[in-house]
Structure 1
Amino acid sequence: MAWFCSHQQLPTRAAIPLPEINDGEGHPSSSHQALKGTSRWATSLENLLEDPEGVKSFREFLKKEFSEENVLFWLACEEFKKTQGKKQMQEKAKEIYMTFLSSKASSQVNVEGQSRLSETILETPHPLMFQKLQDQIFNLMKYDSYSRFLKSDIFLNHKKSEEQEENSPEAQTAAKRASRIYNT
């Protein structure tokens, strides 16, 4: 079951790479960077789920709310979409079904229409077979858990730590170097 807990490479949704401006030593200039960390997490659930550290924090929060299965199901479905080969798809589809959707599931998610999803569908899997259910869970997280996460101690402590790092003497020195480079 460890395959769905991995979140090294989450798919990006229409991510547009931004040019990176470096200081004189090849380090990104803090005044020209795109949003990162908690600032990026706070812009959308999609951005949060694209960041492995964001997923880790969100899972920690959901665990406290007794709803971690939602993000685990979403991650499992994302991984499932990348699966190649009918046999591997059948195995992963069955694992998702048994873990999250069956009446005997160990981490059952609460989705509409799961009763219509029977084990027979597992015989002919396709990458988007769980999409409708995944979308339901995504919307549940987006309109319920995500807003509470942004007010949680877990998120606020991450944000505070980030702000302290940005205000550290080392960060200020890098910003001053970058400022000298760009203002000359």
Structure 2
Amino acid sequence: MAPVDVSLWGESIDRLLGCKTGQLVFEDFLRTQYSEENLLFWVACEAFKKIGSEAELRAAARRIHAEFVRVHAPRQINIDCETREEIGKNISQPRPNCFDRAQRLIYGLMENDCYPRFLKSEMYQALLEQAEQR
């Protein structure tokens, strides 16, 4: 891990999420906070938007809905009922943007809650210290 990477993560959540290693470290941190589903959902949505085939899009939409969106999903994300229902209605004919509203909500939650806690965490501070000593 390059020392520069670690310090860049502190600049913005986008810098953190734009780095594969940063994502993995953030996921480890979120797991300790019992909220890794937020990042996993966000990553799944990013991949979903890049799917070209309609059949793959439908299958991925059902998978994301079953894993993160439906009530009592194994990794249920914290979104409002209206957003959850809207996704449920659109799941049979999904478009690449069908999870955008939920993804924005989860991004906001990570940016305003999880990310500031990550920056203050012992995990991040230790990595930063290690990087600065190189």
CA contact (8 A) 1:101 1:114 kept: no
Which letter maps to 1:117? E
Match status 1:129 vs 2:98? yes
Aligned positions, number: 131
Q: RMSD between aligned alpha carbons?
A: 1.4
Offset at 1:116? 1.7
- CA shift in 2, pair 1:39/1:118, >3 Å: closer
- CA shift in 2, pair 1:51/1:133, >3 Å: same
CA contact (8 A) 2:8 2:15 kept: yes
Normalising by structure 2, what TM-score?
Answer: 0.92
Moved over 4 A (4+): none
The residue aligned with 1:157 is 126
Q: How does 1:19-168 map to 2 (within 5 A)?
A: 36-112=4-80, 113-117=82-86, 119-165=88-134
Which letter maps to 1:38? V
Note the alpha carbon deviations across 1:24-46, whole angstroms, 9 max, x for none: xxxxxxxxxxx931221001001
Offset at 1:104? 2.9
CA contact (8 A) 1:111 1:136 kept: yes
5+ unaligned residues in a row in structure 1: which ranges?
1-34, 166-184
**Higher Cα Rg, which structure:** 1
5+ unaligned residues in a row in structure 2: which ranges?
none
Normalising by structure 1, what TM-score?
Answer: 0.68
- CA shift in 2, pair 1:42/1:93, >3 Å: same
3-state SS of 1:100 partner = helix
Offset at 1:118? 5.2
